[in-house]
A = this chain, B = another copy of it.
Amino acid sequence: MTAPQNPLLNDRDVDFLLYEVLDAPRLCALPYFADHARETFDLYLQSCRRFAREVLFPTYRPVDASPPRFEQGGVTVHPALKQVLRPMVDLGVLTAPRPAAVGGQQLPLVVATLAGAYLMAANLSACGYLGLTTGAAHLIETFGDDTLKATFMTRLYAGEWTGTMALTEPQAGSSLADVQARAATTAAGHYLVRGSKIFISGGDHDLTENIVHLTLARIEGAPPGIKGVSLFAVPKRRPERWPDGGRLVPNDVEVAGMIHKIGWRGLPSLAMSFGEKGDCHGYLVGKPHQGIAAMFQMMNEARIMVGANAAATASVAYQEALGYALVRPQGRRLGARDPEAPQVPIVEHADVRRMLLRQKAIVEGSLALVATTALLADLAAHAADAEERERAQRLLDLLTPITKTFPAEKGFESNALALQVHGGYGYSSEYLPEAWLRDQKLNTIHEGTTGIQGLDLLGRKAVAGGGAALMALGAEIQRAIGRAQRAGVEPAWGERLGAAMALVGDVTAHLAEAGMRGDVERMLRHSADYLELASTVVVAWQWLAMAAAAREGLAAGASPAVFYEGKLCAAQYWFSTELPRVEALAALCRSGEDSYARMRPEWF
């Protein structure tokens, strides 16, 4: 009668993705990954899995129940976080995919990302600190000079200090062109930074002695708009004598207030003020006025990480709902006539199975998409020839807004279904699904809202280079269709996917034409619908690839057969329930239906 312990993610599914769907070990033929093999992948996965289940997951509920406190100018976080952060650093979470030269293991991102998903499923907030820290370090690794690397990057990668992204300002929100923080040059070479930032995750805490804020600000005299924004490393405490002399002294970075987030409650979100006393030193990262381009490296990594966060958060809730449905008795099968027969577990009810299968389709589809995207990032950086790197980069750019958004939007629906499966109990904080539902909602907002991802996908990625990325996606999809045919997957699925992808191409061409005519409003009006259309097709691609690998596994007599049957069932669900929605979405995009274009503020 007791549900088994929540596994966070299904191990068999993760192995399936890595070794049967994506064949990740092929990466080991590339020089960068030459020291690796399936064995080293498994070792890393296994250590993350075990830590996530045994150490990290038990901290989730206490951390959620006691959010950070902001008192006497500083932020105190739950003490359990201090106990888990060091072991996570020791696992290699900050550096696993980075080069050996900076202390990394040169592990493929696809492996690191799936292993990291266990940690995210166990405790999203704890992972937040490390994700921000590795992103900040990577920015300095790419754009910083040797002094910045020695001072900041090494300490960030070592987990001695943590990092943040200090982009958003109260008056600007998503509009980075409106950043107003200022940076004044000094004779000593550093800048004096002054300004207000908001929603700075991990902007202050008592976990490490220092925090490095990767901060957007305008150098005096910079051009207005997006082209006048520069990137700075602004530490909470700076060495008394730059770069590394003396003790750390306060750097005039203050917490102005704390936002009471409804989820991710281990990771404080803060309003910060820089340079109120005129003594906030900032160190330029990269070239002046090119801060946005640099920041986008971190942002793009963060967007894939959001996809992983979302998939992991949907996964842990799905596993919880599944465990509950298997043991909770209630009611009888349809048509059962004997009121004294024992009740059946709710998984026996068709509608409960529907809710679980929908969650499975969303969770495993999301995870496959995240893994595929991470593999493309590996290839974009390390493939043997330039053409392959370029192809992978194009696909990576195209998929990033989808990988960021689909798991977040559909994951929210999936998390709501996990709560629903629990019935009245799901509506209480005695059970965990409500907490994961709260956590999930952030993923449609941070690192670029869903609205912004839609504009990015249609306005930039899909039409860049004459639609080159979309053509590359079409080729990938054709390859998956071929594999599915050879494996003996239901032929109608491949046909429907091919037709749906053709539809995406048609719609894109139609909309691009409006753009080329100069009617950008018309082109982008249905970008949210276009994002949903493209996401539905891209996830169908993932499901076809998984169906092919499942058929191959069944044919090879691989084990367990029930796992493959479940995969084929979920694929069937996606092809019969979700993919048919593309017709109406495509028609809507193409029609340019103008209800919200016409709608005036005073008409609401």
What is the CA–CA distance of A349 and B581 in the complex, to the nearest angstrom? Answer: 26
Partner of A350, one of B354, B412, B525, B581: B525
Residues from chain B with Cβ under 8 Å of A174 in the complex: 330-331, 423
Q: Are the CB atoms of A351 and B259 closer together than 8 Å? A: no
B570 touches A595 (CB 8 A): yes
Chain A, interface SS category: helix
A151 contacts chain B at the CB level, 8 A cutoff = no
Partner among B175, B262, B360, B601 whose Cβ is within 8 Å of the Cβ of A326: B601
Which stretch (A130-138, A448-456, A499-507) binds chain B? A448-456
Is A249 an interface residue when CB atoms closer than 8 A count as contact?
no
Shortest distance in angstroms between A70's beta carbon and chain B's nearest beta carbon? 13
Q: Which residues from chain B contact A412 at a C-beta distance below 8 Å?
A: 416
CB pair A521–B350 under 8 Å, yes or no, is yes
- With A262-B428, A330-B173, A600-B562 known as contacts, the answer to whether A588 contacts B595 (CB < 8 A) is no
> A82 near B: Cβ within 8 Å?
no
A596 in contact with B573 given A172-B330, A175-B331 (CB within 8 Å) = yes
Cα–Cα distance between A525 and B334 once the two chains are bound (Å)? 10
Given contacts A419-B441, A429-B262, A581-B584, is CB(A351)–CB(B527) below 8 Å?
yes
Residue among A326, A427, A437, A455 with max Cβ neighbours from chain B (10 Å) = A427
Q: How far is the CA of A525 from the CA of B599 in the complex (A)?
A: 40
Given contacts A226-B339, A335-B520, A569-B603, contact A426 B445 (CB under 8 A): yes
Q: Is the CB of A565 within 8 A of B603?
A: yes
A294 to chain B, nearest CB (A): 19
| Contact for A343 among B178, B351, B449, CB less than 8 A | B178
Q: How many residues of A contact B (CB 8 A)?
A: 101
Contact partner of A569 among B430, B455, B580, B595, CB < 8 A?
A: B595
A220 cross-chain contacts in B, Cβ below 8 A: none
Q: What B residues does A449 contact at CB under 8 A?
A: 420, 423
Known: A198-B424, A424-B259. A595 touches B576 (CB 8 A): yes
1/0 per residue, CB under 8 A from B, across A484-528: the answer is: 000000000000000000000000000000000000110011011
A600 to B604, CA, bound (A): 48
* Contact in complex: B423, A445 (CB < 8 Å): yes
User: A444 near B: Cβ within 8 Å?
Assistant: yes
Question: Which single residue of chain B is at the shortest CB-CB distance from A263?
Answer: B427
Among B434, B528, B581, B600, contact of A354 (Cβ-Cβ < 8 Å): B528
Using Cβ atoms and an 8 Å threshold, which residues of chain B touch A528? 351, 354
- Whether, in the assembled complex, A199 has its beta carbon less than 8 Å from a beta carbon of chain B, the answer is yes
Assembly CA distance A335 to B577 (angstroms) = 38
Note all chain B residues with C-beta closer than 8 A to A199: 424
| A427/B261 in contact, CB under 8 A | yes
Given A349-B451, A428-B261, A566-B599, do A588 and B576 touch, yes or no (CB 8 Å)? yes
A356 in the interface (beta carbon within 8 A): yes
Contacts of A444 in B (CB 8 A): 420
Name the B residues within 8 Å of A423 (CB-CB). 173-174, 445, 449
A340 an interface residue at 8 Å Cβ cutoff? yes
A20 to chain B, nearest CB (A): 17
Give Cα A138–Cα B244 distance, bound, in whole angstroms.
79
- Whether A569 lies near B427 (C-beta < 8 A) is no
Q: Report the separation of the CA atoms of residues A269 and B423 in the bound assembly, to the nearest whole angstrom.
A: 14
Q: How many copies of the chain does the oligomer comprise?
A: 2
Q: Is A30 an interface residue (CB 8 A)?
A: no
The complex places the Cα of A444 from the Cα of B413 at a distance, in Å, of: 13
Among B354, B427, B581, point to the contact of A441 (Cβ < 8 A): B427
CA distance A501 to B288 in the complex (A): 62
Residues in A524-538 with C-beta less than 8 Å from chain B: 524-525, 527-528
**Residue A583 interfacial (CB < 8 Å):** yes
**Chain B residue at smallest Cβ distance from A335:** B520
Interface check A112, CB cutoff 8 A = no
A604 partner, pick from B349, B360, B583, beta carbons under 8 A: B360
Instruction: Give every chain B residue within 8 A of A58 (Cβ-Cβ).
Output: none
- Residues of A at the B interface (CB closer than 8 Å) are 168, 171-175, 177-178, 198-199, 224-226, 259-263, 269, 322, 326, 329-332, 334-335, 339-340, 343, 345, 347-357, 360, 412, 416, 419-420, 423-430, 434, 437, 441-442, 444-446, 449-451, 454-455, 520-521, 524-525, 527-528, 562-563, 565-566, 569-570, 572-573, 576-577, 580-581, 583-584, 587-588, 591, 593, 595-604
Please name 20 pairs of A and B residues whose Cβ atoms are closer than 8 Å in the assembled complex, sorted by A: A172-B330, A199-B424, A260-B428, A260-B429, A351-B454, A351-B527, A352-B451, A357-B595, A357-B596, A357-B599, A360-B604, A427-B441, A434-B441, A565-B603, A569-B603, A572-B595, A576-B588, A577-B588, A580-B584, A581-B581
Given contacts A174-B330, A412-B416, A577-B588, 17 further A-B contacts (CB under 8 A): A172-B330, A178-B331, A225-B340, A259-B425, A262-B429, A345-B601, A354-B528, A356-B596, A416-B441, A420-B450, A426-B445, A427-B445, A437-B441, A576-B588, A576-B591, A576-B595, A580-B587
